[in-house]
Amino acid sequence: AQSVAQPEDQVNVAEGNPLTVKCTYSVSGNPYLFWYVQYPNRGLQFLLKYITGDNLVKGSYGFEAEFNKSQTSFHLKKPSALVSDSALYFCAVRVGYNQGGKLIFGQGTELSVKP
Amino acid sequence: GAGVSQSPSNKVTEKGKDVELRCDPISGHTALYWYRQRLGQGLEFLIYFQGNSAPDKSGLPSDRFSAERTGESVSTLTIQRTQQEDSAVYLCASSLGPASGNTIYFGEGSWLTVV
């Protein structure tokens, strides 16, 4: 079965410092990996995805993620955190076409950026 | 429209009443998904529609839950005889198709409170 794990319920970072939100995955076949962000009382916004190609993927709002096949990880990163980055972040893997292509989500990581 | 549109955005209902939630996907998107997010929890897959194929209902939690979709347009999620544990945000999402590389875009959600 395909699954995603986000080992940290919460990450605290000072504004201006780099941030990392961790994600590991377990899939059969090629992984299709996504990051979404959820601001309070809002829906999910797409940040970035890894399909194939370069292991470093760049996305919205200055975020990037590094795909590491040997470690089965897809950590979200940003060089300099902003207070406005404070939100709930979800990592997800998309299952294959024959399974409907739905997203399997991790439990989410609450990012708190303090001034 | 430009994005996935959901209505109502907020709904308070009495226990035992039926509710209907509506989703209007992005134009041209053949794949449509419903997810549920309970307070402080992750996202739970409910149902998936792809074109005129039979829906994948494997995530529906009970027979009180049902959903319909007319062709490749609007979908409605119906919850009969609502219970307090149905209180959650119901997120609709759509995608160009079920192929794993396609991005799934979410609406702002319908926030349901059962009192």
pLDDT of A72 > 80? The answer is yes
3-state secondary structure chain B: CCCCEEECCEEEECCCCCEEEEEECCCCCCEEEEEEECCCCCEEEEEEEECCCCCECCCCCCCCEEEEECCCCCEEEEECCCCHHHCEEEEEEEECCCCCCCCCEECCCEEEEEC
Residue B1 pLDDT: 52
Q: Is B110 on the interface with A (CB under 8 A)?
A: no
Residue B25 pLDDT: 96
Chain A from 89 to 108: CB within 8 A of any B CB: 90, 94-97, 100-108
**Contact: A101, B102; criterion CB under 8 Å:** yes
User: Chain B residues with CB inside 8 Å of A34's CB?
Assistant: 103-104
Q: Whole-angstrom Cα distance, residue A92 to residue A76?
A: 12
Q: Is B98 on the interface with A (CB under 8 A)?
A: yes
**Contact: B98, A107; criterion CB under 8 Å:** no
* pLDDT tens digits, A4-17: 999 999 999 999 99
Chains A & B: contacts with CB separation below 8 Å: 68
Quickly tell me which residue has 């109502």 as its tokens: B8
Residue B23 pLDDT: 97
Q: Evaluate whether B34 touches B23 at the Cβ level (below 8 Å).
A: yes
For residues B81-92, average pLDDT:
97
Q: Whole-angstrom Cα distance, residue B64 to residue A57?
A: 42
For residues B95-115, average pLDDT:
91
**Contact: B42, A34; criterion CB under 8 Å:** no
Residue B70 pLDDT: 85
**Contact: A107, B31; criterion CB under 8 Å:** no
For residues B57-80, average pLDDT:
94
